[in-house]
Structure 1
Amino acid sequence: MLDCTDSLITDFVQMLQVERHYSLHTIQSYHSHIETSKTLLRLTGWDGLTVDHVRLLVMKSKQAKLSARSISLRLSALRHFCQFLVERKVLQQNPAESVSAPKIGKLLPKNMPAEAVSSLLDFTPESLHDIRDKAMFEVVYGCGLRLSEVTGLNMVDILSSRQLKVWGKGQKQRLLPVGNVAWEALQDWLKVRPQWLVSDFSAVFLSQRGNRLGNRQVAKRLDQLAVRQGMNTNISPHKLRHSFATHVLESSGDLRAVQELLGHANLSTTQVYTHLDFQHLARVYDKAHPRAKK
């Protein structure tokens, strides 16, 4: 539990953790933005919060030269908190609901060409670390997992039907098929995993000391693998997830299926990949159509 001096913020944080099952990162972000908002507006209580206060907060955030994305996140945190205050009958209505955030330029997900992914993952393991890392990143790319989803995998989540049971955001469960390459790499790791097993530990991916791998450790291992494979571009687990989504969409054109595979609650979140898909189609058109060539 985070340290909150305001009892309403404490209750809000607890609600996000216990009822909404938000990630610790999201909870910390919301808590920080709400505390900052209270300080900037010099509020002694929340019952007097008005639309003018919220507009003043946006103005002060702009004066502090926060990015449009950061201001949007701050406003979103306050909006969720105000809705909580309405439910608690501290406020009659949500004063942040009618205040618009600054427009954010659309950032397209960064992905890798299929050939680049092959260059990264097509290597022969020479150690237990290599066997584990190959399995880990084949699963990330093969199933489109979030970083927290791969580090959160437990042995009971590996099903004999070549499926993974994955717990996504908000503790929402989804079943994912595992392709041949990823499944074989995973089986290779499971054969040697007992060598690092200190006790009856549930995590699929372990460190040499027998502990569950953390997000930072996984990201660092991917960086090291990229350097070893002679990759010049910055590569992250999230980029492998984006690459999975882009490649599946390019091949299938099935946006709904990609939404389900990624575990997106809303289709609008997945639709950003249609922009990438269009770019791919445009390049194919430019190369293939006789009237497109200059």
Structure 2
Amino acid sequence: MNFQSQGTIKSDKPSIQECIQKFLENISLTRSENTFKTYRNGMNVFCEMLAENEISPESSVLEITEEFTAKFAKYLKYYSSATENLYINVYKNFLEFLTAENLIDINLFQVKQLIGQRIRKPGIRLPQFPQEDIEKVISYALELPSKLCENEMDSLINLRDCAFLITLADTGLRIHEACNLRRGDIDWFKKKAIIIGKGNKQAVIRFSERSILAMRSYLHTRGNLDGNSSRQLAVLPIFARHDKGAGKNILPITTKTGRMIVSQRVEECLGKEAVGTITPHSFRHYFVTCVLKKTGNLKIAQEFARHTNIAVTQRYTHLANDELDSVYKKIFDVDNQESQET
């Protein structure tokens, strides 16, 4: 392939290829292996773009200008919008690296403007979950405490899992937030708790009557274990491990255990084929959707979900489309029926 030779900038600066290698070496030292692979793939595509535009990777890095942004964005149109956004972000970080190393003098603000003008916006992924199946799992969870068990430990596990699943469904807590709950966090009279949630932000969580009752029943049955602990009750976890590894120690369940609880109870309730279709986060989706359906108020749903950006909450509004269809038919189909009758 004949790369362009006219207008090539001669300098003592390293080549584009050398800068790419240095950039990727830096990424390999500071990022995960998967992230490094993504960056490497992105820079490989960038090199493909250079070849298409007959620009040699051995050219001086000073060849790179703001115009490269438009060229690379055009080349990425062959990819999905998600991949396009991913690789253009790799390219932007490459330019920032070159600027920080004083290898090029480029207007990064202009680069960001060009990216904003030329890059497609990835489609919004709507939260999908089997609502009817979640409600079946909730009903199944409520029956767990009454199941006959061979020993006290199995009975205690049933009480814990019931309380855990109901709490997820009725509070919108994230999995790690639920696992980190302590007895002293909850004001049992006001049915509230103050937690440190996502982004290290303090938040007030409200509990339903049935979640409070489920937790109280579980903790009451666990009373002897808690009482024999050398730690203060307030610092003990709400949801504790009940396995051989924990022994008589009151240790909090991990997020892995939380996911296993959901998978196990989903399988028991719905069968093996349903495992994976409902996760701990599915209960959070369920919670937000219930708030929207009951109130119709997006701002209230945002507050309960603790979404910083209301656009995140808006993703759930599509789930009420069946109700909108029903209302629409009542308004317009009735009018059509009346006109036909007259």
Q: Does 1:69 align with 2:97?
A: no
Alignment RMSD: 4.3
Distance apart, 1:194 and its partner CA: 6.3
Query: Which residue, 292, 303, 307 being the options, matches 1:260?
Result: 303
Q: Once the 2 structures are TM-superposed, how far is the Cα of residue 137 of structure 1 from its aligned partner?
A: 1.3
Question: What are the Cα deviations for residues 205-229 of structure 1, in whole angstroms up to 9, with x where unaligned?
Answer: 2222444323332222212111212
Instruction: State the partner residue of 1:241.
Output: 284
Given that residues 206 and 212 in structure 1 are in contact (C-alpha distance below 8 angstroms), is that contact kept between their aligned partners in structure 2? yes
Question: Percent sequence identity over matched residues?
Answer: 21
Query: Looking at CA atoms only, which structure, 1 or 2, has the larger radius of gyration?
Result: 2
**TM-score, length basis structure 2:** 0.62
Q: Secondary structure, in 3 states, of the residue corresponding to 1:166?
A: strand
- For residues 25-44 of structure 1, the aligned pairs below 5 Å read 33-34=38-39, 37=42, 41=46
Q: What number of residue pairs does the alignment pair up? A: 272
Q: 2:108 aligns with which of 87, 93, 101?
A: 93
Aligned residues of 2:299 and 2:310 also touching (Cα < 8 A): yes
Structure 1, residues 20-61: CA drift from partner, whole Å, max 9, x if none? xxxxxxx88767645654566579xx9968562686388469
C-alpha change, 1:41 and 1:83, in structure 2 (3 Å) is closer
Query: In the superposition, relative to structure 1, how do residues 32 and 180 fare at CA in structure 2: closer, same or farther (>3 Å)?
Result: farther
Q: Which residue of 2 aligns with 1:110?
A: 128
2-side partners of 1:54 and 1:199: how far apart? 65
Q: In the alignment, what sits opposite 2:321? A: 278
Q: In the alignment, which of 214, 221, 225 is matched to residue 265 of structure 2?
A: 225
Q: Looking at both structures, which has the greater relative contact order when contacts are Cα pairs under 8 Å and sequence separation is at least 6?
A: 1
Which protein is richer in helix relative to its size? 2
What is the rounded CA distance, in whole Å, between the counterparts of 1:293 and 1:238 in structure 2?
A: 43
For 1:140 and 1:157, the matched residues in 2 are separated by 16
TM-score, length of structure 1 as denominator length:
0.70
**In the alignment, what sits opposite 1:215?**
255
Q: After superposition, where does 1:128-139 map in structure 2 within 5 Å?
A: 128-139=156-167
Q: Does 1:52 align with 2:43?
A: no
CA contact (8 A) 1:259 1:270 kept: yes
Classify the secondary structure of the residue corresponding to 2:241: coil
Where does residue 20 of structure 1 map in the other structure?
none
Seen in structure 2, the aligned counterparts of structure 1 residues 59 and 136 have a Cα distance that, compared at 3 Å, is farther
